[in-house]
């Protein structure tokens, strides 16, 4: 029986071609995908496609989109050996992270890919990304059981990446976790870095709560800036982007507002502004007060993973104690074991 891969087109640069008359970029009719990528005909797999009725620019991605995507995968889950999702690069890290929390105990690969140049242009990086993602999903289906991102000859854990480059083909970095595969002449999966296959049934979560905000710390913050964010109506959690290893100002106005928010029941999550490294609350005096107040450390999670994990936990009605416990534990490999 041939390996079956479902290609899900959500939108993004990769799915664009140049209109012969207007010369502008328009969405590709995915029924004609093999015309743009004839190499797909040489695969000895069954490749079927599913496209959203209205392709979405990844800048418009939101929780409802993630729920739709999970519904599609759940509906098709038993019919296919692996899934490849074509997605815009701007929020690919957010979607990959969200899927890693919303679909747990995976038994088959879900790989996101895209491109910096449209698949209908001569120098596109989309063809190679697409072909490689499909090949990995098909040939590594027995060993890869997690949400991953295939881009520019790298396979990354989906909840570990951040888009760091808007110009070059190597758009993503994974500073706190090594790539899951080396992609050259051969594809070498690094099995010691991949999540072990679960013997539990795959679970699909479809509740997300986006009553959260981001408070980015910077020199010269005005007290009204802090107050306005911490007093947003119906806010349940705030991601606090701090310096270095989790450090923040120790000025009275700042500490008092954070403490007041926590006492009101708002969850405060401390994530570093640095792409590499981890939050270590209490390592310096400038983070000790945050730790003592009950600010939750995101450790070495990315901002994208922190946001989507928080939406997932709040969506499942966990209280502050359970949220704090869950943030110290890795759900889908988003935190390093230290």
Contact 158, 149 (CB under 8 A): yes
Q: How far apart are CA 210 and CA 301, in angstroms?
A: 18
Q: How far apart are CA 314 and CA 152, in angstroms?
A: 34
Instruction: Pick the catalytic residue from 3, 10, 13, 89.
Output: 13
Q: How far apart are CA 64 and CA 69, in angstroms?
A: 9
Contact 260, 293 (CB under 8 A): no
Cα torsion for 118, 122, 123, 124, to the nearest 10°?
30
CA distances from 240 to 149, 235, 270 (A): 26, 14, 5
DSSP for 20-85? TTT-SEEE--GGGHHHH-GGGGG-SSEEEEEE-SS---GGG--HHHHHHHHHHHHHHGGG-SEEEE
Contact 338, 329 (CB under 8 A): no
Decide: residue 135, CB within 10 A, 0-12 exposed, 13-18 middle, 19+ buried: middle
In the chain, the N- to C-terminal Cα span, in Å, equals 43
Q: State yes or no: is 13 an active-site residue.
A: yes
Task: State the catalytic residues.
Answer: 13
């Amino acid at each position: 029986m041939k390996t079956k891969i479902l290609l899900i087109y959500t939108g993004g640069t990769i799915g664009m071609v140049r209109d012969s008359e207007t010369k502008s970029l328009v969405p590709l009719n995915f029924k004609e995908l093999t015309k743009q990528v004839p190499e797909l005909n040489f695969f000895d797999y069954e490749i079927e496609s599913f496209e959203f009725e209205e392709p979405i620019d990844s800048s418009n991605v939101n929780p409802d989109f993630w729920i739709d995507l999970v519904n599609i995968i759940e509906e098709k889950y038993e019919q296919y050996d692996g899934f490849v999702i074509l997605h815009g690069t701007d929020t690919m890290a957010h979607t990959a992270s969200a899927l890693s929390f919303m679909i747990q105990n995976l038994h088959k690969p879900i790989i996101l890919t895209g491109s910096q140049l449209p698949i209908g242009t001569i120098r596109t990086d989309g063809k190679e990304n697409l072909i490689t993602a499909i090949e990995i999903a098909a040939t590594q289906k027995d060993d890869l059981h997690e949400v991953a991102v295939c881009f520019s000859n790298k396979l990354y854990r989906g909840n570990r990446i951040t888009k760091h480059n808007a110009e070059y083909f190597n758009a993503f970095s994974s500073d706190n976790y090594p790539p899951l595969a080396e992609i050259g002449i051969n594809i070498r999966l690094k099995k010691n870095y991949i999540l072990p296959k679960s013997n539990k049934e795959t679970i699909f979560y479809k509740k997300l709560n986006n009553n959260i905000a981001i408070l980015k710390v910077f020199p010269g913050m005005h007290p009204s800036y802090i107050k306005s964010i911490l007093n947003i109506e119906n806010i349940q959690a705030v991601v606090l982007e701090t310096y270095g290893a989790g450090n923040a100002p120790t000025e009275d106005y700042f500490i008092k507002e954070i403490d007041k928010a926590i006492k009101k029941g708002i969850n405060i999550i401390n994530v570093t502004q640095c792409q590499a490294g981890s939050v270590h609350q209490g390592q310096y005096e400038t983070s000790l007060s945050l730790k003592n107040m009950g600010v939750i450390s995101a450790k070495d999670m990315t901002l994208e993973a922190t946001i989507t994990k928080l939406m997932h936990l709040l969506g499942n009605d966990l209280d502050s104690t359970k949220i704090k416990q869950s943030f110290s534990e890795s759900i889908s490999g988003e935190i390093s074991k230290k």
